[in-house]
Chain A
C-alpha cells in the first residue's frame, strides 16, 4: 500500500518531512519509569473510571502525578493506580466467541415479556 497522508495536524508535517513513526529501534530502556493506569472516582457514589495512564517511579508518585494530570479541575474525589503490566485484558480477536453465550438470550431483558395492559407498576 503506498500513499501519503498530507493533513497536517498541529505539528505534524506529514511523511515527507521526517515522519517519526519508526519504532523499529525498540531499545528497552531500564531507566524509564514504569507505566501506570489511572482510575478516578468523579464523585462520591460513582464507580472509579479509567482516566488514562502515566509514568511514575512508585505508587505514591503515580497518585500524586495522577492528581496533577487528571484532576486539575476537581474531576475526582478518589484515585486508583495500578501498574499497567498487571492489567489482564480479554483478547479483542476472540470477542465473537467470548460474548457469544449472551447473544441469544433475549429473555434476560424485561422487554421480552408481554403482560396485559391492566398490570400496573411492573
Chain B
C-alpha cells in the first residue's frame, strides 16, 4: 500500500504536478520541508535585526523610509513562510520555540554585525543578491504552498537588491572617506555572502532522492559560481574591488575563478560562535517574551467579545 502511494507521489513529482498539504506524501518529504521552510522563515525574521540596527540612523528621510519598507518586507517573508510550514502540521509556536531554544538554525550571514551605513548597501547588494539566487529556483519547488510563498518573496526581493546597490553607487561618487567606508563594507561581507550558498558540492554529496523529489534543483557550487560571475562585473560599475586576489576571468571555463572559502569560519558561525549569534537570539527572545502580555491581552479581549456576542444572541 505504502509503496503504491510512493509510486503515485513520485509520478506526480516527475510530471511537475505540485504537492498540496492534504495530499499523501512520504513522511521524510514532510519532515524535510518543515525543516527547510521553517529555517528559511527564521532567516527572514532574524534577518531584520542587522538592518533594523540602522533604521534610526539612516542618513536621510528617503533612506529611512526605504529601509523601513525593506525590513517590513522581510517580516512579511517570514510570515508567508511560517504559514507555508504550518500547512505541514507544525504550529507557529512550535517553530518559534525551536528558534528560541536553538534547535532550529537560521542563515549564518545574519550573525555578522552591521558596522557602518555602507553595510546597508552591501547587505542589499550581496546578501539579498545571494538570497535571490538561492530563492528563484524555489519558486518551482514541488510543494505548492512553498512555491507560492516564494513567488511572492521573489517579486519583493528585487527592490531590496537594487536599493542596496544604489546606496553603494551614491557612496562611490562621494568623498574619499565614503568610498573607504563602502570598500570596507564590501571587504567584510564578500566571503560570508559566498558562504550563503552552503558547503562545496563534493563535501555535501547531493542525494539522488532530494533531486528526485525536486526539492533541490541546482547545486551549491553552481549557484555560487553564478553569483561570483555576476558580482565580479557589477563591482566594476562601482569602481570598488572584491577582496579576493585569486578572482580572475577564466576564458576556458567561461567563468570567474575565485579563491578558497574559509569553511572553518562558516561552521563556527553555524554552530553558534559567530560575532553576533548570541545578540541575535537574545534580541529575538526578548521581543517574544516582552510581547507576551500583548498576545494574551488580545486573546482575552477577543474571547470576552465573543462571549458578549453570544450572550446577546
Chain B residues within an 8 Å CB radius of A3: 28, 207-210
Least CB distance from A45 to B in Å reads 23
- Majority secondary structure of chain A interface residues (helix, strand, loop or mixed): loop
Q: Shortest distance in angstroms between A21's beta carbon and chain B's nearest beta carbon?
A: 4
**CB–CB B28/A11 < 8 A:** no
Contact of A31 among B43, B103, B296 (CB under 8 A): B296
- What CA separation (Å) do A7 and B209 show in the bound complex? 11
Helix, strand, loop or mixed for chain B's interface? helix
A61 near B: Cβ within 8 Å?
yes
Considering the complex, which residues of chain A in the window 13-33 have a beta carbon less than 8 Å from any beta carbon of chain B?
13-15, 17-23, 25-27, 29, 31-33
Say yes or no: is A1 at the interface (Cβ < 8 Å to chain B).
yes
Contacts of B20 in A (CB 8 A): 92
Is B38 a contact partner of A20 (Cβ separation < 8 A)?
A: yes
Q: Which of B68-94 contact A (CB under 8 A)?
A: 69, 72-73, 76, 79-80, 83, 86, 89-94
Q: How far is the CA of A93 from the CA of B20 in the complex (A)?
A: 12
CA gap between A7 and B33 in the complex, in Å: 12
| Segment at the A interface, from B113-121, B130-138, B170-178, B253-261 | B130-138
Partner of A58, one of B31, B198, B295, B305: B305
Chain B residue total in the interface (Cβ 8 A): 73
Interface string of A35-64 (1 = CB under 8 A from B): 100000000000000001111011001000
Contacting residues, chain A, for B63 (C-beta < 8 A):
none
B258-273 toward A: CB 8 Å interface, digit per residue (1/0)? Answer: 0000000000001100
Partner-binding segment picked from B104-112, B160-168, B240-248: B104-112
Per the bound structure, the CA–CA distance linking A57 and B35 in Å amounts to 27
With A72-B73, A72-B76, A92-B20 already in contact, the answer to whether A10 and B135 are too (CB < 8 A) is yes
The answer to whether A10 touches B94, judged by C-beta atoms less than 8 angstroms apart, is no
Establish whether residues A10 and B91, one from each chain, have CB atoms under 8 Å apart when the complex forms: no
Asked if B193 is an interface residue, CB under 8 A from chain A, the answer is no
Number of interface residues of A (CB under 8 A): 44
Interface check A69, CB cutoff 8 A: yes
Task: Decide if B76 touches A57 in the complex (CB within 8 Å).
Answer: no
Report which of B39, B108, B205, B206 forms a contact with A20, defined as CB distance below 8 A.
B39
Q: Which residues of A are found within 8 Å of B24, using beta-carbon distances?
A: 92-93
- In this complex, the member of B22, B39, B93, B198 whose beta carbon has the largest number of chain A beta carbons within 10 angstroms is B39
Q: Which residues of A contact B188 (CB under 8 A)?
A: none
A86 at the interface (CB under 8 A from B): no
Residue A5 is within 8 A (CB to CB) of chain B in the complex = yes
Pairwise interchain contact B207-A4, C-beta atoms closer than 8 A: yes
Q: Is the CB of A11 within 8 A of B73?
A: no
Q: Which residues of B contact A8 (CB under 8 A)?
A: 197-199, 204, 220
- Across the interface, B94 reaches (CB within 8 A) one of A6, A11, A18, A23, namely A23
Bound form: Cα–Cα A73–B157 in Å? 13
Contact B198 A7 (CB under 8 A): yes
B contact residues vs A (CB 8 Å cutoff): 20, 22-24, 26, 28, 30-32, 34-36, 38-40, 42-43, 69, 72-73, 76, 79-80, 83, 86, 89-95, 98, 102-108, 131, 134-135, 138, 148-149, 152, 156, 196-199, 204-210, 215-216, 219-220, 270-271, 295-296, 298-299, 301-302, 305-306
Q: A7-B215, A10-B135 are in contact. List 19 more A-B contacts (CB 8 A).
A: A1-B28, A1-B209, A3-B28, A3-B210, A5-B206, A5-B209, A6-B206, A7-B219, A11-B105, A12-B36, A14-B204, A15-B32, A23-B89, A23-B90, A33-B295, A54-B83, A61-B298, A61-B302, A72-B76
The 7 closest A-B pairs by CB, nearest first: A8-B198, A11-B43, A20-B104, A21-B31, A6-B204, A11-B107, A57-B298
28 A-B Cβ contacts within 8 A?
Answer: A1-B28, A3-B28, A5-B207, A5-B216, A6-B198, A7-B206, A7-B210, A7-B219, A8-B220, A11-B105, A11-B108, A13-B105, A13-B270, A15-B32, A18-B102, A20-B34, A20-B38, A20-B95, A21-B31, A21-B32, A26-B91, A53-B83, A54-B83, A55-B92, A57-B298, A72-B73, A72-B76, A92-B24
